[in-house]
Amino acid sequence: MKHQIIEGARGIFLRYGYNKASMSDIAFASRISRRTIYTHFSNKEEVFMAVIDCEIQQLAEKLENLVNQPLLPEEKLRKYMQTRMQAVKELTLYYDALRQDLVNNMNMMERLRIEYDQMEAQMIKSILDEGNASGHFKIADTALVSEAIVLASKGFELPIFMGRTDYDHNRLINPLIELLYNGIKRKA
C-alpha cells in the first residue's frame, strides 16, 4: 500500500509541484482514500520525503551495483561519475516541476541531501580503498578525498538544476577524472 501511495504521489508532485499538490490529489492518483494515506504518512511532507527517498534509493542501488563490478578502480570511478550525473540529469527532468517548490522548501531537501552525501562518500571511498589496495592509487586519506569528490560533483549539478539543456556533463567528467589520476604537476 505504501508503494502505491508513493507512486501516485510521484506523479502528482511531478504534475503540480509540492506546494500545489494536495493529499486529496495523492489519494485520487493512488486510488485509495485520504484516510488510508494518513495511516502510513502523517502529512504531505512525509509523503514527499518518501518519494524523494525512493528516488535516492534507486540511484544508490544502481551506483552500488557499479561499485561491485569487477572493473579497474580508474574505470569504476569514471563510470560511477557518469552514471551519477546521468541519474541527476534524469531526476532533474522530474524536478523541473518542483524547481520553485524546492527553493521554497530548501531545508527539507537539505536534510535528504546530507544523508545521501554521506552514503555517496562511502561508496566513493570504497572505490578509492580498492584502488589503494590494488596499487592503482596512492591516496593517504581516502575518506577526505571521497568527500572532496562528492563536493566537486555537486558543481556538475548546478547547470542541470538551472535548466541548461545543452549541458554535457560527460565532457567535463573525463578531464576531472584525468586530473584526479594524474594531477596537474608536470612529471620530470
Task: CATH number of the domain at 84, please.
Answer: 1.10.357.10
Report how many domains make up the chain: 1
Which pLDDT band, with edges at 50, 70 and 90, does 26 fall under? Answer: very high
Average pLDDT over residues 115-137: 92
Domain-located, residue 175: yes
Percent of the chain predicted with pLDDT > 70: 85
pLDDT at 15: 85
Question: 23 in a domain, yes or no?
Answer: no
pLDDT of residue 81: 87
Predicted confidence at residue 90, as pLDDT, reads 73
Please say if the pLDDT value at position 184 is more than 70: no
Confidence check: pLDDT of 159 > 90: no
pLDDT at 56: 81
pLDDT of residue 88: 75
Confidence (pLDDT) at 179: 78
On whether residue 124 sits in a domain, the answer given is: yes
Residue 85 lies in a domain: yes
Residue 70 located in a structural domain = yes
Angle of CA points 18, 20, 22, to nearest 5°: 85
Q: Is residue 35 in some structural domain?
A: no
Spatial CB neighbours of 9, under 8 Å, sequence gap ≥ 6: 21, 26, 29, 30, 47, 48, 50, 51
Per residue in 31-51, pLDDT tens? 999 999 999 999 998 998 898
The CA distance from 37 to 5, in Å, is 7
- The parent domain of residue 80 ranges over 49-182
* Position 55 in a domain: yes
What average pLDDT does the segment 94-104 reach? 57
